Amino acid sequence: MQNYSLFSLARNALTGHKNWQKAWRSAPLKEAYEVIIIGAGGHGLATAYYLAKEFGITNVAVLERGWLGGGNVARNTVTVRSNYLRDQSIPFYVKSVSLYEGLTKDLNFNMMHSKRTMVDVVLNYPKMRDLRRRQLTMDIYGSTYEQITVDEVRNIIPALTGGGPQSRLPIIGGMVHKDAGVNRHDAVAWGYARAADALGVEMHQQTAVTALLRAENGDIQGVETVKGTVKAKKVIVAVSGHTTSLTETAGLRLPLRTMNLTAFVSEPIKPIVDVIVNCSDLGFYFSQSDKGELVIGGAPDSGQSFRRDIKQHVFEDTVGAMLELFPSFKKLKLLRQWGGHLDIAPDASPIMDETSVSGLYVTAGWWGGYKAIPAGGLTMAHHVATNSPHPLMQAFSLNRFKNLDYILETGTTTAR
Amino acid sequence: MLLINCPFCKHRNETEFVYGGPVGANRPDLNSASDEEWVDFLTMVPNPIGPVNERWWHALGCGEWFIICRDTVTHEILETPIEKV
């Protein structure tokens, strides 16, 4: 792998940038691999990288229907945080945040990680009590949450001029999560792909998997793709919203349903907010990107959806909520809007497990899975390589549903 | 934005309705259902790329619960069964 550094930049500048190596190869598709990963998104690529790096399994193919990093890893709002509710979730996300913070060095790719703090703006007392309770659990696992007053909220976010005593729901305080940050989503996909490629992993774009293949004894034996059959004893499904569509081809049902979550971006403006603002009472969150655009997210569409578009009333609800607290944003134009479909389990926690089909693994149910990419990849690779779940992801098993042992995280994201 | 065909109020704006989830399997008889069947009923829902039956509640209208069949890709409402939930 060609090292990226100031020196290599200078050297390539002198030769007119004609000698940069390709970030990853395009190898011909082989007939068999040790491990097949379906989906070259964040989780698929991270799993491939850690399989090769931590466990020495390099005979791996990542199969992607479209282009690398073109799915939800390109459609999220790049928020990385660990303020979750449950004992099972918090240490997992704490690990993920710490891996993210070291990722630039680890992958030799600039993640532009900006650890800029998230501020929850709280408008009612039950919510504040709920967040204080979350804080106590988070304290145990090394995440940080801290209550601040209304004045402190307005000091940190001067643009927050709404929500005063005259409003229907005045601000009563805030919670500060200092571990939160944003980074560059393309760098995550490309960085993992490039580093995995350097270790021998193959990336195959425009190689849609049409069906999972099972042997006579029921075990997984490979996949059917548009470019022919590829065999493997271990197959990992990391395809977000399309998980059930794929696993049904192996006769496997999963407790997941697919929904559409939307985001939108304003025109670029001068730096105005340097933290991530979240107001779950009104139903919106946003941060300002390096380009100056406000990246805004809200609640998912009602009902299952395989569309990647945006409904007018979802957009109006979210923007209207934001204007309650930030009336000065009223004249901002919105540049882009998009949706992404993701699947959700009944408890809004992820599923990372080997399924009842031996050799078939799923990593799914990611609602806000962007922040989980490094830890998700590492723990999934551990599970596949060692045949035993990593302690950090053990709880996110499929078995939990058998006992209705839910890890309820509804409400810690925009999931309802 | 959906125009949802309420059995009483006819076509009304989606914002008047509350989504009530996909229609899963029928509730099994608790006296004879195994644990697996019960868990299956509680957790499994259809997730098709295409038509799905789902419940909606006309919360800001007549208050009726009803089932529609909607395509998850086109959002087209294919039919409105006037079936009681």
State the complex-level ipTM: 0.91
Q: Encoding tokens for residue A95?
A: 């690990």
Residue A415 has pLDDT above 60, yes or no: no
Query: Cα separation of A335 and A348, whole Å?
Result: 30
pLDDT by residue (tens digit) across A267-322? 999 999 999 999 988 999 999 999 999 999 988 899 999 998 889 999 999 999 99
Query: Cα separation of A99 and A10, whole Å?
Result: 29
The distance of B10 to chain A (nearest Cα, Å) reads 20
Q: Encoding tokens for residue B56?
A: 């909606």
Put simply, the answer to whether B1 touches A312 (Cβ < 8 Å) is yes
The distance of A99 to chain B (nearest Cα, Å) reads 33
Closest CA to A183 of A119, A110, A118: A110
pLDDT of residue B83: 54
Least confident stretch, A173-177, A342-346, A361-365, A379-383: A342-346
Query: Cα separation of A172 and A368, whole Å?
Result: 27
Chain A residue with the nearest C-alpha to that of B44: A255
pLDDT confidence tier of residue A4, bands split at 50, 70 and 90: very high
Residues of B in contact with A242 (CB under 8 A): 49
Put simply, the answer to whether A304 touches B54 (Cβ < 8 Å) is yes
Please give the radius of gyration of chain A, using alpha carbons only, rounded to the nearest integer: 22
pLDDT by residue (tens digit) across A101-124? 999 999 999 999 999 999 999 999
pLDDT of residue A309: 87
CATH number of this structure's domain A6-109+184-255+346-402:
3.50.50.60
Check if B58 contacts A (Cβ < 8 Å): no
Domain positions in chain A = 6-109+184-255+346-402, 118-177+258-344
Put simply, the answer to whether B47 touches A343 (Cβ < 8 Å) is yes
pLDDT by residue (tens digit) across A369-392? 999 999 999 999 999 999 999 999
pLDDT of residue B81: 65
pLDDT confidence tier of residue A178, bands split at 50, 70 and 90: very high
The distance of A167 to chain B (nearest Cα, Å) reads 24
Three-class SS of chain A = CCCCCHHHHHHHHHCCCCCCCCCCCCCCCCCECCEEEECCCHHHHHHHHHHHHHHCCCCEEEECCCCCCCCHHHCCCCEECCCCCCCCHHHHHHHHHHHHHCHHHHHCCCCCCECCCEEEEECCHHHHHHHHHHHHHHHHCCCCCEEECHHHHHHHCCCCCCCCCCCCCCCCEEEEECCCEECCHHHHHHHHHHHHHHCCCEEECCCCEEEEEECCCCCEEEEEECCEEEECCEEEECCHHHHHHHHHHHCCCCCCEEEEEEEEEECCCCCCCCCEEEECCCCEEEEECCCCCEEEECCCCCCCCCCCCCCHHHHHHHHHHHHHHCHHHHHCCEEEEEEEEEEECCCCCCEEEECCCCCEEEEECCCCHHHHHHHHHHHHHHHHHHCCCCCCCHHHCCHHHHCCCCCCCCCCCCCC
Best to test chain B binding among A257, A314, A343 (most B CBs inside 10 Å): A257
pLDDT of residue B24: 87
Put simply, the answer to whether A306 touches B44 (Cβ < 8 Å) is no
Best to test chain A binding among B12, B43, B55 (most A CBs inside 10 Å): B43
Can you list the domains of chain B with their CATH numbers? 3-26+35-79 (3.30.2270.10)
Quick check: pTM over 0.80? yes
Q: In what order do the strands lie in the sheet with A276-279?
A: A146-148, A173-177, A118-122, A276-279, A284-288, A294-297, A257-266, A334-344
B48-63 burial, b at 16+ Cβ within 10 Å, e below that, comes to bbebbbbbbbbeeeee
Three-class SS of chain B = CCEEEECCCEEEEHHHCEEEEECCCCCCCCCCCCHHHHHHHHHCCCCCCCEEEEEEECCCCCCCEEEEEEECCCCCEEECCCCCC
pLDDT of residue A247: 97
pLDDT of residue A410: 79
pLDDT by residue (tens digit) across B19-58? 999 998 889 998 999 999 999 999 999 999 999 999 999 9
CA atoms within 13 A on the CB side of A311: 22
Look over chain A and give the mean of its residue pLDDT values, rounded to a whole number: 95
Tell me which residue in A304, A313, A346 faces B52 most closely, judged by beta carbons. A304
pLDDT by residue (tens digit) across A112-158? 999 999 999 999 999 999 999 999 999 999 999 999 999 999 999 99
pLDDT of residue A368: 82
pLDDT of residue B25: 87
The distance of B49 to chain A (nearest Cα, Å) reads 7
Query: Cα separation of A298 and A292, whole Å?
Result: 19
pLDDT of residue A57: 98
Chain A residue with the nearest C-alpha to that of B47: A257
pLDDT of residue A416: 44
Put simply, the answer to whether A401 touches B18 (Cβ < 8 Å) is no
The mean pLDDT value for A39-62 works out to 98
pLDDT of residue B21: 92
The dihedral built from the CA positions of residue A87, A89, A93 and A96, taken in this order, carries a sign that is positive
Query: Cα separation of A62 and A59, whole Å?
Result: 10
Put simply, the answer to whether B15 touches A313 (Cβ < 8 Å) is yes
Tell me which amino acid residue A397 is.
S
A6-109+184-255+346-402 matches A118-177+258-344 in fold: no
Contact by Cβ (8 Å): A291, A260? no
- Per-residue CA distances from A329 to A43, A70, A297, A311 (Å): 35, 30, 15, 21
Contact by Cβ (8 Å): A396, A382? no
Domain formed by A118-177+258-344, architecture? 2-Layer Sandwich (3.30)
